[in-house]
């Protein structure tokens, strides 16, 4: 589902409309640019660039788009995620949890309209998990972002404004908007 919403895969039927744009009508290049500007991804695979340090990985999407990095905002994310002392490190020198924090910071740095997250706190300790979820909630409100999160953790799910439960590819319950 996250791959279809994010324009990484095509649906077998129907359309995917994000911010008024039909993703199936876009060329590969248009879709790449659209994703970079509008969709942040946090998947279980960190997808960090191995030859870039933490700072460079975080600001990469912003720089690829030719925009100026909002250092105050990015530094707030870095401090919240507790990775300030790791900025010069390469991903190979980080633990799995630290790599996940970098992936989350990178996803938030460009202030995407939609953040797609697959178990974003799965590799984090409970305190950092709470910090990350708090940051996601704050940024979602501040920057009017939609977060679509996949989780098996009921406690995390209860923090959401809306919960869709999916089984065998079908929605089996919908909490509605809170």
pLDDT tens column, 94-128: 988 899 889 989 998 988 889 999 888 877 788 87
The full set of domains in the chain, from first to last, is: 2-174 (3.40.50.300)
DSSP string of the chain?
-HHHHTTSS--SSS--EETTEEGGGS-HHHHHHHHHHHEEEE-SS----TTS-HHHHHHHHHHHTTPPP-HHHHHHHHHHHT-GGGTT--GGGS-HHHHHHHHHHHHHHT--SEEEEESTTTTS-HHHHHHHHHHHHHHHHHTT-EEEEE-S-HHHHTTSS--EEEETTEEEEE----
pLDDT for 89 equals 98
Digit-coded pLDDT (tens) for 145-178: 889 999 888 888 888 888 888 888 788 888 876 4
Which of 166, 161, 158 lies closest to 177 in space, CA to CA?
Answer: 161
Percentage with pLDDT > 70 across the chain: 99
Question: What is the pLDDT, as a whole number, of residue 177?
Answer: 62
pLDDT on residue 31: 93
- How much is the pLDDT for 123? 75
**Mean pLDDT score of the chain:** 88
What per-residue confidence (pLDDT) applies to 58? 97
Minimum mean pLDDT range among 54-63, 81-90, 97-106: 97-106
Confidence of residue 39 (pLDDT cuts 50, 70, 90): very high
pLDDT of residue 168: 86
Give the mean model confidence (pLDDT) for residues 79-107: 92
């Amino acid at each position: 589902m996250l791959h279809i919403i994010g324009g990484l895969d095509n649906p077998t039927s129907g359309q995917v409309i994000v911010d008024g744009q039909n993703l199936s009508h876009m060329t590969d290049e248009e879709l790449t640019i659209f994703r970079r500007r509008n969709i942040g991804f946090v998947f279980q695979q960190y997808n960090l660039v191995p030859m870039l340090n933490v700072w460079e990985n975080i600001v990469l999407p912003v720089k690829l788009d030719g925009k100026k990095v909002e250092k105050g905002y990015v530094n707030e994310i870095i401090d919240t995620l507790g990775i300030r002392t790791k900025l010069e490190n390469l991903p190979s020198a980080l633990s799995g949890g630290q790599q996940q924090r970098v992936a989350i910071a990178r996803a938030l740095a460009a202030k995407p309209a939609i953040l797609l997250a697959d178990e974003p706190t799965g590799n984090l300790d409970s305190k950092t998990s709470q910090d990350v979820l708090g940051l996601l909630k704050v940024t979602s409100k501040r920057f009017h972002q939609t977060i679509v999160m996949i989780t098996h953790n009921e406690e995390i799910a209860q923090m959401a404004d809306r919960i869709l439960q999916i089984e065998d590819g079908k929605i089996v319950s919908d909490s509605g908007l809170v």
